[in-house]
Structure 1
């Protein structure tokens, strides 16, 4: 004979609830036709699990019910690997009756008369178990699948939010397959999915019909997730626009600028986004980048927008916002980019020597560049402002710095016919160009041109200076 009793199931499921006493019932059936059977039930962890009838007698072909108790209340399910179990042992009982002490003695003597009929796995199930598993770094998929098997549809739907917030694509997939409804949640699950950083979860929710709010692109911009933005714009082109605005009038570019995500700014602009938008308080993306001190974002926005001098509702430009920051190397560079650099360029052009000195004293970069790559020295040389040239060189200006077309300040001075400036630059180490390239110098006395020695050629591509 293989066994004396049979369990109605191979496992006992206990629905776990936080801080509550938990129990579950199970049933054993005597397979003997004419003889009673004595049964002994033990658990692998007696301090945690107990059974109401550890020893009992089952009449022939009859069944008996038992209750498994979780002995202690807890906020966390006592999961174990391998799981706890109930061992069922049985022996024939010819007399049909026996006291508890007699049965205890009977099973205390191992031998061929005692059969090990079954081992029943103890499974903790229910939404509280699922929630606990979601909070763990490692989520055994089989345990999670078992835990949600005892959940109702509404419980499955409520579990979607923590699963999404933890970025668990496997858990979200399991819940949706089990019947969770992504469209029945109080608020859209897409924003927390994006914040969790899981594109797979975003895809699962989109496929399940989850509501797409306009703010999803803002969430993706805030977390530097270009992949999510690409997916959403591709799949939701009728619902989303790259320049969608939140309640404050901010676009995803505003958000990316605030967080310093240069790649997102570039992506949005490449998709047709407008970096010149001002929000409800008059702030452009450049204001936000300057306010947060994101130097790279400021540089990026200066290249793709024209809002450098746009004022907010309080009359402040991005330069003003940057100037309000505490003193730091970043502040100095920001102020240079947004304000003093421009002022220095203007001062060099008009030969305002005091203005040049003031700008340099405020932290403007003596070698800063404008949109064409011209430094202050380029402008002073091109305009023939010898005094400004001297001050700039005294403050460390690079004499041979080149613009976007390869021109140096000496090239600019020579092309504009400013011989005095050209000679001064050469005396300070500037490389000398080929005189044939500068017809404006032909009218000057030959003895003055002798200073141009060791000639070098201009860049091959001619530049029109205005």
Structure 2
């Protein structure tokens, strides 16, 4: 015989409730037909658990109840080391024994002591599962405990846990919950003011979570699932790609309650990667919200230079659009003191225009306000290119005195000197040469040489 006592359970499912005392009862049966058996119960973690009674005598073939309790209420289940109840026994020919006698009996190891069972303790219930899903839990090491914990949860609790799993990025538990009975379909709808399940997945940034939900039949409802907005707010471009690939008919210009598109949200937050992706798949750069704000308005108000530049590269009229308050993107930048945006939003254009018109006063004003003297237009022309090409000597002098680069190259490979020579402006060409411009230059079409004594004689070499 290898044991005297038989437990009626293979495992103790301990129902844990945060902050409350918890007790679990179980039965032990004496297998001896004619002799009583002394029983000793111990916990592998006595600092957490207490057993009652811990010592007992069972008559032949009798069954007795025992209880396992927390020593004090806990706020979280002690899962770091899986606990267990150890059952030991010894035959008791005397049929009776005092408590002290039993203590003495089990205090010394020997062949008279049987180790009948080690009953593992599993924590189950909603509170346990919620703890395992919390950000502070290292739940990757507790997969088995999680499966046990949710085994006693009903469908409503499982669906609630699914929301927590998705929100906290616990993607490895999502499939477990769905297989256990969590209702993916019901989680598509808003829960009070909470976000939908799909939105929570996108916000978490966990690609695995989103993929599992899509594979499980959780579809996008355009009326509540503004997934691109959520992804844009967090700059989750990888999530945007999955959403667009999975839902090819998705409206890229869908709006929220303020009439803002996902591109508005990306611009508001200055998320350049999200802006670039949305533009690449067809988002409207010039779209306005209910207050007449374009994405450029938001980027300018919040001082996002990179975002402003990306939007301007694709916008048609956003640079000049006026919101309901009568303000352009430049006006908002000025209002907020975002001086680093002045050039790209307005002053650069104004300086180019003034250089073309030889309006020296306007040029001085633009430069004083922060216009970049070496800024270029869509063709790579700097203000100096434009002034030199027009033959405006006073404008050329002003620009050079403010640091204009005399050998800057435009989109066709021409310097300001080449543009002056091309247009036959000898005096401007001589001035540029006297200020460091190279006499022998190369454009995209070939080498251009000219006689320093007769700079009007140009000889392109093709």
Q: TM-score, normalised by structure 2?
A: 0.90
> Do the aligned residues in 2 keep the contact of 1:413 with 1:421 (CA within 8 Å)?
yes
Secondary structure of 2:455's aligned partner: coil
Q: Which residue in the other structure is 1:283 paired with?
A: 293
Aligned partner of 1:131 in structure 2 is: 130
Count of aligned residue pairs for this structure pair? 444
Instruction: Please tell me whether residue 295 in structure 1 is matched to residue 295 in structure 2.
Output: no
Partner of 1:41: 41
Aligned equivalent of 2:388, options 381, 387, 390? 381
Match of 1:340 among 341, 347, 350: 347
What is the distance in 2 between the residues matched to 1:247 and 1:346?
40
Is 1:278–1:285's contact at 8 Å kept on the other side of the alignment?
A: yes
Aligned pairs for 1:426-441 within 5 A: 426-432=433-439
Q: How far apart, CA to CA, are the structure 2 residues paired with 1:367 and 1:104? A: 93
Rate the CA distance shift 1:184–1:59 in 2: closer, same or farther, 3 A.
farther
- In structure 1, the partner of 2:168 is 166
| Matching residue of 1:21 | 21
Q: Secondary structure at the match of 2:186?
A: coil
Match of 1:324? 335
Cα–Cα, structure 1 residues 434 and 227, in superposed 2: closer, same or farther, change >3 Å? closer
* CA offsets 1:5-50 (integer angstroms, 9 cap, x no match): 1122332121110111101111212222222222111112333211
TM-score normalised to structure 1 length: 0.89
Equivalent in the alignment of 1:450: 453
**Which moves more between the two structures, 208-217 or 160-169?**
208-217
Per-residue deviation, residues 180-224 of structure 1 (Å, max 9, x unmatched)? 112223251122221111011011122233352441111111222
- SS at the partner of 1:249? coil
1:203-214 aligned within 5 A: 203-210=211-218, 212=220, 213-214=224-225
Bigger shift: residues 184-193 or 316-325: 184-193
Contact (CA 8 Å) 2:387, 2:395: kept in 1 or not?
Answer: yes
Matched, 1:232 2:243: yes
Kept in 1: contact 2:199–2:226 (CA 8 A): yes
CA–CA separation in structure 1 for the residues paired with 2:157 and 2:248: 33
Aligned equivalents of 1:455, 1:417: Cα separation in 2: 9
CA shift digits 1:249-305 (9 cap, x unpaired): 111111111222222222212211111101111111111111121111111111111
Deviation at 1:434, TM superposition (A): 8.0
Give the deviation of 1:387 after TM superposition: 0.9
1:453–1:350 Cα change, 3 Å = closer
Matched, 1:197 2:205: yes
Query: Partners of 1:195 and 1:218 in 2: how far apart?
Result: 10
Aligned to 1:63: 63
Out of 146, 149, 161, the position equivalent to 1:147 is 149
- For residue 357 of structure 2, the aligned residue among 336, 339, 350 is 350
Identify the residue that residue 218 of structure 1 maps to in structure 2.
229
In 1, the alpha carbon distance for the partners of 2:31 and 2:456 equals 115
| Runs of 4+ residues over 4 Å off in structure 1 | 453-458
Is the aligned partner of 1:407 residue 2:414?
Answer: yes
1:464 aligned partner: none
Equivalence for 1:31: 31
* d(CA) in 2 for partners of 1:19, 1:137: 18
Unaligned runs of 5+ in 2: none
2-side partners of 1:450 and 1:111: how far apart?
117
Cα 1:91–1:396 shift into 2, 3 Å: same
